[in-house]
Amino acid sequence: MATYTPGKVIWERWRQRLRGDDEAAQEPPGPFEDLLEEAPVVALLLDRDRRVLAANETARQFFRLEAGHLPLGLLDATREGRLLEALRAGAPESEMRLTHSQLTVQIRLVPGPRPGDTLMFLTDVTELRRLETVRQEFVANLSHELKTPLTSLRLAVESLLGEPAPPAAARRRFAARALKETDHLSGIVANLRELAQIEAGRTVLTLSRFDVRELVTEVADRLSLDRSLELHIPARLQVTADRTRLAQALDNLLDNASKFSPPGSPIEVEASLSDDEFRLTVRDHGPGISPEHWPRVFERFYKVDPARSRDGGDAREGRATTGSGLGLSITKHLILAQGGRVWTEAAREGGQVFGLAIPMPIAVNDAITHP
């Protein structure tokens, strides 16, 4: 598919205008003022000495330039040495990560309106490349998540079909394993379907008023946690929110805390209500998560490398290494659907804290029903 190059189109139209109007050709309007000043793309006009002669509004904002300071050398104007490398290379199209701004840009070079001039267009593709990386990681992680239960399921079925036929006790054991792995696969599919529906905005909130302590206790009883629960929740604290979705988010947070807390250590749940926000945090006493992972722990299938945990533990002590890998991502979207936010941080005395906050009252664009 052909690539649209704005510079070629713009300059060709400008040249046609000049060729069609002799009077205008004698005193041509400045190309940036005439055509590019308000264009939604970074545009720089450079001379043969690699000086920036003009920069449109987008470029001035991007590089924090003052029009009155031009002309300037490309390096002085942009503080990006890699742009100078691209200009010297002379490739019509290239892509690179800028050193100063840490943004990934596509660069297009086209001849300017006068001999020796060059027009440089920059397009910020940082978010696009990030999304491509997320998609690639998602496919790789999903394949990894499916491989283990499928392998176990195949082994169980092959054992059942083996010759000679296994004893009755062994057949029951193999069948139970096959059923367990099938349930695990069904859970992954169900979570993916639910996550897709939430992300697509097909969420209808059912708001009701309920007691927070009762909700936490109910969820903990349903999970049958093998850790004690320490509640720091004011008596008779009530909020108005989607109880079912908040319970599901809390379910994921408590389950995650239970997996990574040492035996015998408690799970701490704290809740509070200010004038405009309800906050709830769940703290474990596990090895914690290194800060570089915090922005990504709520991504689908994201796994923290055990070697990067703050205590340098082995795989048994690592974070987020079991389950479907979707619980925290679902939690995030369940809370976002109610106009809220999620975060994680290190606990002061060790362990990790996962928190959620929901505005009071809830004000979102999704459909809302009241029982």
Strand partners, 55: 44
- CA pair distance 242, 248, nearest whole angstrom: 10
Q: What is the pLDDT of residue 3?
A: 47
Strands (E), the chain: 42-46, 51-55, 72-73, 93-97, 104-111, 118-124, 205-211, 229-232, 238-242, 267-273, 277-283, 341-346, 352-359, 368-369
How many other C-beta atoms are found inside a 10 Å radius of the C-beta of residue 170? Answer: 13
Q: What is the pLDDT of residue 25?
A: 40
Please report, in tens digits, the pLDDT of each residue of the chain (371 residues total).
444 445 454 555 555 554 554 444 444 445 556 677 778 889 998 998 999 988 888 888 899 888 888 889 998 889 888 998 999 888 999 999 998 888 999 999 988 878 888 989 999 999 999 888 877 877 777 777 788 788 888 888 888 888 888 888 888 888 888 888 888 788 778 777 777 777 776 667 888 999 999 999 999 888 888 888 899 999 889 999 999 889 989 988 998 888 888 888 899 999 998 878 999 999 998 888 888 888 888 887 776 645 333 344 433 333 434 455 678 888 898 898 888 999 999 988 889 999 999 998 875 544 445 45
How many other C-beta atoms are found inside a 10 Å radius of the C-beta of residue 265? Answer: 16
Which of 42, 50, 51 shows the shortest CA–CA distance to 88?
A: 50
Per-residue DSSP letter, 261: S
Q: What is the pLDDT of residue 215?
A: 93
Q: What is the pLDDT of residue 324?
A: 57
Token pair of 343 as six digits: 């975060």
Token pair of 21 as six digits: 């109007």
Q: What is the pLDDT of residue 343?
A: 94
Q: Is the bond preceding residue 164 a cis peptide, omega within 30 degrees?
A: yes
Q: What is the pLDDT of residue 213?
A: 93
The answer to whether the pTM exceeds 0.85 is no
Which of 322, 358, 360, 366 shows the shortest CA–CA distance to 197?
A: 366
Q: What is the pLDDT of residue 330?
A: 85
Residue for token digits 């029982």? 371
Would you say 122 and 41 are in contact if contact means Cβ atoms under 8 Å apart? yes
Q: Can you spell out the DSSP letters for 66-103?
A: -GGG-SEEHHHHH--HHHHHHHHH--SEEEEE-TTT--
